[in-house]
Amino acid sequence: MKSKYSISRIPIMLLLFVFLAVIFNACNAMGPETNSGLDKDRLGAISIDFNALILDHVTCIDGDKTDWKYFNISEEMDVAITFAFDQPTAGGIVVLRKATGEEIVKLKFVPGKRMQHIFRAIPGHYYLEIYCEAFESEYTIEVSNPM
């Protein structure tokens, strides 16, 4: 009596299973920062100057999901963080952090608006973690003294 599974089908099914396993593992191995530069984490944060408009890009598609910037405050003052993302579908987020990495505030971009957050800063080092939740976008960010 012949089996309904022929011997020739088993290698094809095994080959298909191996192919799917390789594809699945390759997709999981490619993380959100596979093409990111040094600014992908806090240790590689790039210094930004006061009153300088910074233009950069984040992308979940190409593996550069997160950018880190930092700035220093020399005296107690009000500080404004102003930012915008070009693509509303990117779900842009800016996180302001203390020198210790502790989150001060998380700001989510609202499509069609230029966002601004003002806070009272004491002298020290501050970080900005900028990332997209999906797709990709150019963004602008500026740290200034509001007047």
pLDDT tens digits, residue range 79-115? Answer: 999 999 999 899 999 999 999 999 999 999 998 889 9
State the number of CA atoms in the 13 A half-sphere of 145 facing the CB.
7
Is the pTM above the cut of 0.85?
Answer: no
24 within some domain = no
Residue 8 lies in a domain: no
pLDDT for residue 17: 57
The answer to whether 82 and 119 are in contact (CB under 8 A) is: no
pLDDT score for 30: 45
Q: Residue 129 in contact with residue 71, Cβ under 8 Å?
A: no
Range of the structural domain that residue 117 is part of: 38-144
Residue 105 lies in a domain: yes
Q: What is the pLDDT of residues 10-57, one digit of tens each?
A: 666 655 555 544 333 333 344 555 666 677 778 889 999 999 999 999
- The whole-number pLDDT of residue 40 equals 72
Closest C-alpha among 31, 40, 37 to residue 130 = 40
The CATH number given to whatever domain includes residue 99 is 2.60.120.380
Is the CA virtual torsion 23, 25, 29, 32 positive or negative? positive
